[in-house]
Structure 1
Amino acid sequence: MASSSSSSLRSWRFNVFTSFHGPDVRKTFLSHLREQFNRNGISMFDDERIERGQTIGPELMESIGESRIAIVLLSKNYASSSWCLDELLEILKCKEDMGQVVMTIFYGVDPSAVRKQTGDFGKFFNETCASYGEGERRRWSKALNDVGNIAGEHFLNWVNEAKMIAKIAKDVLQKLNATPCRDFEGIVGLDAHLKEIESLLDLDYDGVKMVAITGPAGIGKTTIARALHSLLSRRFQLTCFVDNLREICPSGLDEYGWKKRLQENFLSKVLNHKDMRICHLGAVKENLCDQKVLIILDDVNSLKQLEALANESAWFGPGSRIVVTTENLEILQQHGIGSTYHVGFPFDEEAIEILCRCAFRLRSPLYGFEVLCTRIIRLCGNLPLALCVVGKSLRGKKKDEWEDVVNRLETILDQGIEDVLKVGYESLEENEQTLFLHIAVFFNNEDSDLVKAMFSDGTIDVKRGLQILVYRSLIEISTYGNIIEMHKLLRRVGRQAIHKQEPWKRQILLDAHEICDVLENETGTRAVSGISFDISGINDLIVDERAFKRMYNLQFLKVYKSRDDKLKFDILAGEKSRDDMNDVIHIPEEMKFPRRLRFLHWNAYPNKCLPPSFHPEYLVELDMKHGKFEHLWKGTQEHVYASKRDIYLYAKEHGWLEQENEMMFEFISTYHELNIVECGAHVFTVEKEIRRLGFDQANKATQSLLSTLILLKE
């Protein structure tokens, strides 16, 4: 018997495969049966284009295995064909190995004659066997005996062929309904997705509906669409799942030729006609306008694809449903597809289950692996694709091997994951790629208005760029707060893209050793617009006073520590203070920062103030957490608030403020907005005319500590 899990692993391309002797039934009984199946939405493999010979070809063998039900149409001359007998062997093998359903029709032949190979049926069988060995005869004879014992429809029991055919179609539908596809069993959250999409499809509506499934790469859109196709196929006359749309059409064709080639491939698949050729772009409508079809267009990435394959509802018959999966929301807007289902990220519990099903074939972690599983879902950002890839790579591995893999995941993105995720980035125009990279490195979880201010020089159309990134599912902008969110694996894709650039072309520097060389030896170039410097692995660095001289286009500078080294020292024992730990960079007092600097984040800035040569007129954001500031800078700054900009000042004395005491004040003038966030006992002073900022909204405890805060007079 077939194992219970074997059929669940199959993907059934056809509802029915029919084994028959062509001269006996093709133009009569079989043609009527095929017509009835079409009316009932039952897909049947069509072998008319296959040239029959002495042996079954690989295409036919594959088609037998891809059919949920095999109908053996036994007629008088069936055993005269070694081809038919070999088909029968393969069908019975699929029944045994994969749980394929086998039905029989005895057309002008008695079941006992089939079982025992007697009468005319036996005569033709013996003639066929004469050309083969005894081993082949025994195998064929056993197969005929087995199939003859399968109860089926006997032609002589019916006086009306039409009623017999209707009964067969009804039986096929019942068996299809009774044996639902189990290809997608165990996929976490799938049932909920399918229920929502079925509701959007409104299958009882007689008109044509188009529905889109949206979401970022790797979220599971294709899996959901395949499961939907499997679930609903039997309810339509024709069905087709169209994937690899990016690869179907070769380059070098004009738009007309491109669309024509796309339609030819599409219709070949829908109508099951190999290498179909068409004369004009109206062929889809001509062939499908009276057919109830289910078409799923997977991974659509251009409007031209939709225009070629599903430009109008009128192209398809009543009751048809067109489902599109895409990461590009703009395409849907342009085409007018308003019904969309967005696939969101799974909750942590679901993410753990996805990982464990792939790694352990269980719903929860093995004992001792709980913490590692939690780390993995964090590193994967709950992205199903990443969870599956990582989970399968860990299957059967020991705990220490898991730990090695998890540590690698901290810095290295799996190639299989990267290949999927980088497609969206690579499809962007150059300016959009630049914006993507800057968000990945500097501006994730930042206010979109702040990002617009960062590029207010007009080098990038940020408003349009953000819109495109949202349309392509590369970022999300929260409706509350306008905060930009990019998935952590997409941020890794961005960093990988930067690392792969030629060094002299890099706009953003990330590699700590490369940055050390730039800052020590003044090797930067004018191509550099941003530096993100993780000093976690740096022991000691003396920055050259003129380190930024050649980087006069540098606008974004971030120095931070991704790993806290405090565990290496016993701070309480006084061996090393946190401030000493952070003093790994030494900056000359006369350091010359780039004049065009717009973004300066320096965690644990080592000096007591910025150098007097610092020019803040372009500055948009300043973040100096854990610094040793006593002054912002020494001397006079004439142009601090020369233009309408948002300047954010951050400071916090280590351990002084608890979460509940953190506060924000806003001082709004004609020229600027000053946000003081997480301020501690540090005092910012500017040695010029000053005025005090009132703290009417502050709690009393915080007021007393911030009362010495003094600001530059407007």
Structure 2
Amino acid sequence: MANQDSCSTSSSNHGWTYDVFVSFHGKDTRRNFTGYLTDALDRKGIHTFRDDIKLKKGEGIPSALVKAIEESRIAVVVFSENYASSSWCLDELVEIMRCMKKKGQLVIPIFYSVDASVVRHQRESFGKSMEKHEARHDKETVNKWRIALKEAANLSGWSFKYGYEYKFIQQITEEISNMLNITSLHIADHPVGLNYRVSKMVRLVELKSNDDTKMVGIYGIGGIGKTTIARAVYNSISSRFEGSSFLADVRENTMKHGLVQLQETLLHNLLGENIKLGDVNRGIPIIKRRLCTKKVLLILDDVDNLRQLRSLAGSHDWFGSGSRIIITTRDKHLLTTHGVENENIYEVKQLNDDESLELFSLNAFRRKQPKENYVNIANRMVQYAKGLPLALNVIGSDLFGKTIEEWESALKKYERIPSREILDVLRVSYDNLDDNEKEIFLDIACFFKGNTRREVVNTLDASQFYPEYGIGVLIDKSLVTISDADTIKMHDLIQDLGRDIARKDSPFDPGKRRRLWHRDDVLEVLTKNTGTDAIEGIMLDMTNLKQKVPLDAETFEKMRRLRILIVRNSQVSGAPNHLPNNLRFLDWTEYPLPSLPADFYPETLVVLNLPNSLLTMDEPFKACS
């Protein structure tokens, strides 16, 4: 800390009035060790509360003192020869330990000319003092004092018996200064909807529980705000730990610099030391050995494989009691595989409509609500973004200062060709898929969003894509979800990602793409008869258009690999006399002929849906029988 003002400001940001509360036995150390320690802390700019309140005989500790304990980031307890002889000190210690469990403050014992074991087991002067208390006080009170002494003595702290006292004080002051010198992370330019989500995470982290190390996961699709929430949580709670480290962009930094550098950064952040490791497997035992007694906060941001977790936070016993490890990822399965329990995993949901409009408006208008003449188009933009903070930020910033006509043009462009900045973030999840899961993802994005899971599984199974496993992977990676009605759901922008990837098979020649879904591209291929054997799936949907679609007899002749054919809300003139036998999924509303083509023998067809068609009862399946 540079000065007391900056220290106080930092404290108030976390709800603390003081940085350090010092508990001590006055006659033992007020005029020597504790006096010198508090003076050194003050000169370091650390805002310190020293208990110099005079207690009248028979009084308990006053509420002002309890308040000072509750509002201090760190409590330093100086155990000296006669500490336990004072019921005042013991009451104070009980309050300190209560606050540690309730609010997560850091408690540091200093054993000044006494051993930790003497305090822990209440022997020698501590034992004699407790025997005297038993004769004067009720059993319940004395038992509370004994428990508080034992718990405090079990914490990591400092011991002094011999040597230069000023050097010992200098060491303590430097280490406390390092603990308090926590730089707040930038959270977001517009942290809309953040308080509720952060409060849920803080409850999940359970700061009041100091017994065990706990791992907590945050997962969701790219751009949903996982890292923003993690940064806010870090700022909110990091001061309650002996050390803290926020390792940002683990996935990207692993690719650029390797895991060894991340291990070295972790150790530097938590220990203040520059340790050269050279090898990941050398780093693992060093991290375990150096941190196993230290209460730390570690945030691993954007993790995408198990090796990263096993190299940086392998298991709970790597860290001291009360430590918290928070992991952000797009892959829920990664968390459960690493042993993070389901009840400790937080899924980040999309912003609601009000939050979305506010965030969008702050970017597009620099105010919380849209300008009056932009309300309609702003709401349409918000509906397009579907509660994804990334999209709301990017699109809103892109449109700042633009005319309504430019907004209308931009929306049409986004609906056909989404923003590259948004797609680049979302695409990371796709790039991490195996080829099998990529095929499943693209089929769902282009054709099957909203279909029943059973239909999709049957179709993809017939295409030999192993859908039961593959869809599970997509769910874990937040790319698809399953509704209560057992239908496949996908965020609109995730769907746009899949369709953009499919479009790039052949950007300027739709007939050479594997999947066709956009009305204009499908019409070009069907009406100009430019289809090729590259095409595996077609969806034609003419909703809100009266235009008739002319098909000739040879429309599907060249599409030998066509697996999926969907025709909805479309008026067709003419009809093909051929359908590919490779079809697995045929869904054609108002099929225009009384029977299927004579040479249609689809041995792998698993879904046949021809509602409101011209098929007669005795004709439709002649060719299929």
Name the TM-score, length of structure 2 as normaliser: 0.66
Letter in 2 for 1:192: Y
Retained in 1: the 8 A contact 2:594–2:620?
no
Instruction: Determine the structure 2 residue equivalent to 1:497.
Output: 501
Q: Does 1:329 align with 2:332?
A: yes
Q: Does 1:407 align with 2:407?
A: no
Q: Does 1:267 align with 2:237?
A: no
Once the two structures are superposed, the pairs formed by residues 177-192 of structure 1 within 5 Å of their partners are 187-192=191-196
| Whole-angstrom CA distance in 1 between matches of 2:289 and 2:443 | 49
| Whole-angstrom CA distance in 1 between matches of 2:221 and 2:525 | 36
Q: Does 1:317 align with 2:320?
A: yes
Q: Does 1:533 align with 2:519?
A: no
Could you tell me which of 373, 379, 391 is aligned with 1:374?
Answer: 379
Instruction: Determine the structure 2 residue equivalent to 1:586.
Output: 573
Letter in 2 for 1:594: P
Q: Does 1:551 align with 2:559?
A: yes
Q: Does 1:443 align with 2:422?
A: no
Q: Does 1:198 align with 2:185?
A: no
Retained in 1: the 8 A contact 2:479–2:490?
yes
Q: Secondary structure at the match of 2:335?
A: helix
Q: Does 1:307 align with 2:310?
A: yes
For residues 595-619 of structure 1, give each alpha carbon's deviation from its aligned partner in whole angstroms, at most 9, with x where no partner exists: 2323233355555665555557654
Could you tell me which of 338, 355, 365 is aligned with 1:360?
Answer: 365
Q: Secondary structure at the match of 1:344?
A: coil
Q: Does 1:340 align with 2:345?
A: yes
For residues 172-201 of structure 1, give each alpha carbon's deviation from its aligned partner in whole angstroms, at most 9, with x where no partner exists: 99999xx99885585222111111111111
Instruction: Determine the structure 1 residue equivalent to 2:52.
Output: none
Letter in 2 for 1:403: E
Retained in 2: the 8 A contact 1:36–1:165?
no
Retained in 1: the 8 A contact 2:227–2:328?
yes
| Whole-angstrom CA distance in 1 between matches of 2:615 and 2:577 | 16
Deviates more, 1:419-428 or 1:348-357: 348-357
Deviates more, 1:324-333 or 1:347-356: 347-356
Letter in 2 for 1:213: I
Q: Secondary structure at the match of 1:322?
A: strand
Q: CA deviation at 1:630?
A: 3.9
Letter in 2 for 1:277: L
Which entry has the higher C-alpha Rg, 1 or 2? 1
| Whole-angstrom CA distance in 2 between matches of 1:183 and 1:511 | 39
Identity of aligned residues (%): 32
| Whole-angstrom CA distance in 2 between matches of 1:181 and 1:284 | 24
Unmatched 5+ residue regions in structure 2?
Answer: 1-8, 15-35, 49-164
Q: Secondary structure at the match of 1:212?
A: strand
Could you tell me which of 504, 523, 526 is aligned with 1:519?
Answer: 526
Q: Secondary structure at the match of 2:559?
A: coil
| Whole-angstrom CA distance in 2 between matches of 1:549 and 1:460 | 25
Q: CA deviation at 1:490?
A: 0.5
Q: Does 1:276 align with 2:276?
A: yes
Q: Does 1:286 align with 2:275?
A: no
Q: 1:378 to 1:316 in 2, by over 3 A?
A: same
Unmatched 5+ residue regions in structure 1?
Answer: 1-6, 13-27, 41-158, 562-581, 643-714
Q: CA deviation at 1:527?
A: 3.3
Letter in 2 for 1:347: N
| Whole-angstrom CA distance in 2 between matches of 1:606 and 1:290 | 75
Once the two structures are superposed, the pairs formed by residues 572-651 of structure 1 within 5 Å of their partners are 583=571, 585-588=572-575, 591-603=577-589, 605-606=591-592, 610-611=596-597, 614-615=600-601, 618-624=604-610, 629-632=613-616, 635=619, 637-638=621-622
| Whole-angstrom CA distance in 2 between matches of 1:552 and 1:404 | 38
Q: 1:546 to 1:321 in 2, by over 3 A?
A: same
Q: Secondary structure at the match of 2:615?
A: coil
| Whole-angstrom CA distance in 1 between matches of 2:316 and 2:537 | 49
Deviates more, 1:428-437 or 1:511-520: 511-520
| Whole-angstrom CA distance in 2 between matches of 1:498 and 1:511 | 11
Retained in 2: the 8 A contact 1:611–1:634?
no
Q: Which has the higher contact order (CA 8 A, sep 6+)?
A: 2
Letter in 2 for 1:601: D
Retained in 1: the 8 A contact 2:451–2:488?
yes
Could you tell me which of 232, 248, 251 is aligned with 1:246?
Answer: 251
Retained in 2: the 8 A contact 1:617–1:639?
no
For residues 678-705 of structure 1, give each alpha carbon's deviation from its aligned partner in whole angstroms, at most 9, with x where no partner exists: xxxxxxxxxxxxxxxxxxxxxxxxxxxx
Q: CA deviation at 1:359?
A: 1.9
Between the two proteins, the alignment pairs up a number of residues equal to 468
Q: 1:319 to 1:622 in 2, by over 3 A?
A: same
Q: CA deviation at 1:34?
A: 12
Q: Secondary structure at the match of 1:526?
A: coil
Q: Secondary structure at the match of 2:416?
A: coil
CA RMSD of aligned residues (A): 4.2
| Whole-angstrom CA distance in 1 between matches of 2:229 and 2:255 | 28
Retained in 2: the 8 A contact 1:291–1:317?
yes
Q: Secondary structure at the match of 1:368?
A: helix
Deviates more, 1:443-452 or 1:610-619: 610-619
Q: 1:287 to 1:275 in 2, by over 3 A?
A: closer
Q: 1:520 to 1:180 in 2, by over 3 A?
A: closer
Q: CA deviation at 1:286?
A: 2.5
Q: CA deviation at 1:418?
A: 0.6
Q: Does 1:419 align with 2:424?
A: yes
Q: 1:608 to 1:372 in 2, by over 3 A?
A: farther
Q: Secondary structure at the match of 2:501?
A: helix
| Whole-angstrom CA distance in 1 between matches of 2:268 and 2:168 | 30
Q: Secondary structure at the match of 2:441?
A: helix
Compare the two structures and name the one with the higher helix fraction.
Answer: 2
